[in-house]
Structure 1
Amino acid sequence: MSAHLDVSELRTVVLADGRRTLGDTNVARRVLVRMTVGTLVILAVVVAGGYFASARLARHEVLIDIRTLNESVARTLVEPTGDRLLAGDPEALAALDDAVRGHLLPQTAVERVKLWTGDGRIVYSDEAELIGQTFPLAEALLDVLRAAEGSRTGVSDLSAEENRLERSGGDTRLLEVYTAVSTDGGESMLFEAYVRYDILEQRQRDILLSFTAVGLVALGLLAVLQFWLASANLHWLQRERARMSRRSAEAVEDQRRHMARDLHDGVVQDLVGASYLINAGTGPLRAAGHHDAAEDLHGAEASIRTSVRSLRSLLIDLYPANLRSSGLRAALLDLVDPVRARGVQVHLDLPDDLELPDHLEVALYRAAREAVRNAVHDGRATEIRLTVRPAGGRVTLTVRDDGDGFDPAAPVAAGHLGLRGLADEAEVLGGTLAVTSAPGQGTELRLVLPR
């Protein structure tokens, strides 16, 4: 090789990159990004939906809980002594007050208790200032009184006069529940409890946290499943495209083999037969003294023989017979022997035990033949290195020469379509073809194909 090779002047042009066809890492990256974005969108929708669902569920659960609590207190503490409470019996009021202050207020979320009569008078409250005062009852509460059963819940209207003391407690919102209580004397009263609103918010947070945790786990499992399915589909698609590419290459090779056989058994044999006939007619013409006619026939015979040699060279190009019978190494040795005979140093390096599918051997041979031919006829090279190296799932052919070189980025001249044909074949097989060269700096052709 030339010792003064100036690498800085070399240019590399990728003529083919079939990995884009078979799905490279960029495809996988795009799939991953799209799935990640989709998963984040789903997560946002799930979290938003979970928030509103948890708010509704928390409100429903808390209202049921405080209604159940209020009804339980009304039935156990108020109803048994309802007539006495209604009459203002101090002993009954004291017993109720002890139960409310000793157990209900400290042990539950209840903030205030009121016991109403049907005319809006407060018979009892843990706030003594309210006892005996009268306030108008809302129509909804009067409906509960008339029904003499059931309960009603809602958010307290702290702007109402009867709730002025609740306003002073610093709470901006309270939940209230009214339960109808019937006395033994047939009178109806309302037992009202005010509950801190923060228990609703806390319950909402607990439900949202549980929902989010379960949702994230489920979403994570779904995302893993999606990624696995996408990866499996992508690998399947790559395998199918690789398989189809191999079948396409094999079909092309079959066509070339049939074409070579048809040409050999048909046109070539006809031309050889014609040359024999012409040669057989040359002798009698000379014997008869028709030397000019004999020379013309001899010229025609030479032209036919030249055509036969060209056709046989074309047959080798279409389908080298020794490649299938003897393998890639033998075919490459046959390729470089005539070049060595012309004084060119050729170094051939490939493993002895290299085994490749037929369509890959043909593709590598054709690329090597094109590179060697260009190096000798166009580049006037004196030294050529031809290397075949398998690595992992790929096989690489490298052909370097010390010839004249050229600008690989320049437009291909008319009639010089060898590299373009190699690039098309590499594209179909899912491989890459790159040429590195510069005027006066030799040439390197590098073909990488998936095995």
Structure 2
Amino acid sequence: MTLPAGRHVIWHTLARHMLLASVVAVVISALVTLGGWRFAEDDARRRVESVARQVAATVLVPMTEQNFVRLDGVGRGHLRDHVSPFLESGTVQRIKVFRVDGDLATVVFSDEPRVEGLSGRQDSQLATSLDPGEVLVRPVPVDAEHRYETGLAGSRLEVFLGFRDAGDNDMRLELYLPVDVPGTTRHAVLVLLPTVLIGLVLLTAATVPLSVTLARRMERDRAEQRASREYGLAAAELARRDVARRLHDGVIPNLAGVGLLLQGVRSAADRQSGSTSDHGWSRRRDLLDRAQNLLAGEVRELRTLLTELLPDEPVGRDFAGALSDLAARIRQGETTGPAPAVDIDVSGIGHLGEQPAVILHRVAGELLRNAFRHAQARTVRIRVAAVGTGPGAAVELTVTDDGVGFDPSRIRRPGHIGLRLVRRLIEDEGGRFVVISEPGAGTAVTVSVRDPALRSPSD
């Protein structure tokens, strides 16, 4: 079912409006999710740092009373009593205490006995003494050194605090604290996203009337432009027909009559003179001959112009024949020396719609004139092909020459006014205009216009 033009514009506008709103909603949802994730990460670091300070306030005092180089079973039991409540409540997933000697760190105490005694080199941040109260928060690396932590449930961050034990050894307390960045992100998104999307829905609904109004206005402007172009084409066609009628009914017959009068005057004067020795009459007769020949030539030119202004048949019925006739007329009128050969290929196309055919016929004429006047070509090829089928079908015309070529970037300089007019005509019709050329390499100009009425030769 075909909708009326007004309803089609409204539905098309609403569809584009909803599509744009959907795209914006997806983008906003992604941005809110990304923002929620960043917020969750920052919140996790702040919370972990706060919890680490609270744990340190409880366990660092008994740790500073121990000499971890000589730590015995009693001291280990005493430390485990202080850290067990945090481990059992899940506030802390793992505790490690290691001694720093330069850039070498050795684990001397942990709730996981298998890691005690392990040594490894530390980076500069951990090897350098941490100031009192300073907290360093990091993601847990995925490596062999942390193999016992990767099996713990959930995700976590590691927190480092520096202290000195009773033996004045440089020590580090390492706490593994659980975090739930995905859960915090979900919570933030569930809180923020509905509010944002509701606001977007309200904004979309509020702007629908404005979009429809603008779309209707643009459609009216386009319709007026199309009507203006059609009126211009019709006016130009009427002007050509009027000129052709005047040439056919008045100017050409009058000029032909003048030619006959000149011929009659010459014949009568010849009979009356009776002698060829009259030098004065001989000169006058030469002038009459020249005037008659000039007049006959102008009459032929006007008849050629008449044929070009007003073709005998619609060009869409036999486009190949119309192009052949056009090339012959232009070759006769535009060339004084050897004329370039013209090769025309209109295979695969039957009848064209008359308006697209007239446009392409005029464009082909302008391109042929350019090729004959300026290209110095040996061969000019014209190719016409169908592009697509149905309502979106188009006719593509390509005119190629092997002449001197030019720089397309300088198409606006004097001498290429015809190409500028062709470009504007094709663009006004919603078609395509492409120029490919370079000095010494010839020129190829391709234009296309829509023709829903295009038929194949078999139709």
Alignment TM class, shorter chain as reference: 0.3 to 0.5
When Rg is computed on C-alpha atoms for both structures, the one with the higher figure is: 1
TM-score (norm 1): 0.47
Relative to the length of structure 2, the TM-score reads: 0.46
Q: Between the two structures, name the one with larger relative contact order (CA 8 Å, sep ≥ 6).
A: 1
